């Protein structure tokens, strides 16, 4: 089968993106039922924070190893098994009778989720020409935000209609069916092996890893992504909906609309940031503006002691999402700064920074919330002090973007040295 000219490649594209849509929705969907989990399982805000963090922790740990495994054995097996693991984790979550089972379910979901991005990109690069791939990768990136969008009002209605356990069970079942679909699409129909064994140069990989971990540029991008991703994903996956319900007295569905505003911003922010950077032919300056806007926006929550006017909150959530959408500039910077042979590893390293902050923020926020509520008895005060966490993380992201040296900046420095 001539993959690049086959009509079947569009069925591959649709199937893979459909799977990614539902897998990404399960990153943040549990945030819709935070209050229900606390009530049903009698757990604290700290435990909820850890529960939200564990999936991102597993995702973070597996990013670089997954890239190496995909190069070694091919992407088909890992994408298929990832969809199934995410589905099984979601089903177990819906059937849980104890908090330990909830943690186990989120670990399974995080393991499955960790397979998706690297392997999806590799699969699409196999089925599409370089020109088509460049056009389609933007749509692929936006699908993740559409998955987050799916996990707001639509899934909130589904929960209200069925109850949270049947809703999550049905989502898990659908993901398992996606895994079966991928077996047909990626293996059976094109008659491709599920494993593709390739020889890799272990010594060379070790040298590359050592060089990446000692690179100022790589660490700058790690910090950039740390500041912009976790402040958004970490918050909406755990405390966004409870914030609207507890501080503004909103229903779950109404509070999920706040999250949806952020996701709409993210959908706009991704192509907008790329367009601005390409028009200006630079990455650093627009990225500095993005990080400053993000820092300013989170700081407003502190100015109003955690309780800004509602109309302002809707604007703030939209702007936070808009800034998050610009995180694609991190990977544009990777492609500009590193050779193709190293860009995958550096992308994984930078992505690790982003999801490390998504691991830390829910836990820190939850611990602060528990402590302040015990001391003051005020939920609003708890959220006020909790908002110091995304502000600090945004400062770290700003430091990262300032440390980043653009290609032309490096060339100018080299000219001065000579």
Q: What predicted TM-score, i.e. pTM, was given to this entire model?
A: 0.74
SS3 (DSSP) at 119:
helix
Burial class (CB in 10 A: 0-12, 13-18, 19+), 340: exposed
Domain 1-200, what architecture? Up-down Bundle (1.20)
CATH number of 203-418: 1.20.1250.20
Instruction: Tell me if 359 sits within 8 A of 60, measured CB to CB.
Output: yes
pLDDT, tens digit, 9 for 90 and up, residues 392-412: 999 999 999 999 988 666 555
For residue 225, give every residue at least 6 positions away whose Cβ sits within 8 Å of its Cβ, in sequence order, or none.
327, 330, 350, 351, 353, 354, 357, 397, 400
Topology alike, domains 1-200 and 203-418: yes
pLDDT, tens digit, 9 for 90 and up, residues 129-159: 766 765 676 677 778 878 888 887 888 889 9
Winning range, highest mean pLDDT, from 181-195, 306-320, 374-388: 306-320
Single out the residue of 246, 393, 218 nearest to residue 320, CA to CA: 393
Instruction: Tell me if 136 sits within 8 A of 13, measured CB to CB.
Output: yes
Q: What is the pLDDT of residue 19?
A: 94
Rounded distance between C-alpha atoms, residue 94 and residue 105, angstroms: 9
Domain boundaries, the chain: 1-200, 203-418
Q: In the structure, what pLDDT confidence band is assigned to residue 384 with cuts at 50, 70 and 90?
A: very high
The pLDDT of 193-213, averaged and rounded, is 69
Torsion sign across C-alpha atoms 277, 282, 285, 290 = positive
- State how far Cα 273 lies from the chain centre: 17
């Amino acid at each position: 089968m001539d993959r690049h000219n086959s009509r079947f490649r569009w069925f591959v594209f649709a199937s893979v993106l459909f799977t990614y849509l539902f897998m990404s929705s399960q990153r943040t969907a549990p945030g819709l039922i935070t209050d229900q989990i606390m009530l049903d399982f009698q757990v604290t805000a700290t435990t909820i924070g850890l529960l939200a963090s564990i999936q991102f922790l597993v995702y973070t740990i597996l990013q670089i190893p997954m890239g190496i495994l995909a190069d070694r054995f091919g992407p088909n097996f890992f994408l298929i098994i990832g969809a199934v693991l995410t589905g099984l984790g979601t089903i177990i979550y819906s059937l849980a009778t104890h908090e330990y089972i909830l943690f186990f379910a989120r670990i399974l979901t995080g393991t499955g989720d960790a397979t998706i991005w690297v392997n999806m990109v590799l699969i699409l690069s196999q089925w599409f020409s370089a020109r088509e791939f460049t056009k389609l990768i933007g749509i692929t990136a936006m699908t993740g935000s559409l998955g987050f969008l799916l996990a707001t009002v639509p899934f909130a209605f589904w929960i209200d209609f069925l109850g949270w356990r049947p809703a999550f069970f049905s989502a898990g079942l659908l993901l398992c069916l996606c895994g079966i679909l991928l077996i047909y699409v990626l293996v059976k129909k094109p008659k491709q092996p599920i494993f593709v064994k390739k020889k890799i140069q272990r010594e060379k990989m070790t040298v590359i890893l050592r060089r990446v971990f000692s690179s100022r540029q790589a660490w700058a991008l790690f910090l950039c992504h740390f500041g912009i991703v976790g402040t958004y994903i970490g918050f909406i996956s755990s405390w966004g909906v409870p914030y609207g319900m507890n501080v503004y007295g909103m229903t779950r569905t109404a509070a999920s609309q706040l999250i949806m505003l952020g996701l709409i911003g993210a959908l706009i922010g991704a192509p907008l940031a790329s367009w601005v950077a390409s028009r200006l032919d630079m990455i650093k300056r627009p990225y500095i503006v993005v990080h400053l806007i993000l820092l300013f926006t989170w700081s407003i929550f502190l100015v109003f002691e955690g309780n800004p006017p509602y109309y302002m909150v809707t604007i703030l959530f939209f702007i936070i999402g808009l800034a998050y959408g610009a995180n694609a500039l991190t990977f544009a910077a990777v492609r500009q700064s590193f050779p193709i042979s190293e860009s995958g590893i550096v992308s994984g390293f930078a992505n690790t920074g982003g999801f490390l902050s998504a691991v830390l923020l829910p836990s820190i926020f939850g611990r602060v919330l528990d402590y302040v509520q015990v001391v003051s008895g005020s939920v609003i005060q708890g959220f006020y002090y909790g908002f110091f966490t995304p502000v600090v993380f945004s400062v770290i992201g700003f430091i990262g973007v300032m440390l980043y040296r653009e290609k032309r900046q490096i060339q100018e420095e080299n000219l001065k040295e000579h």
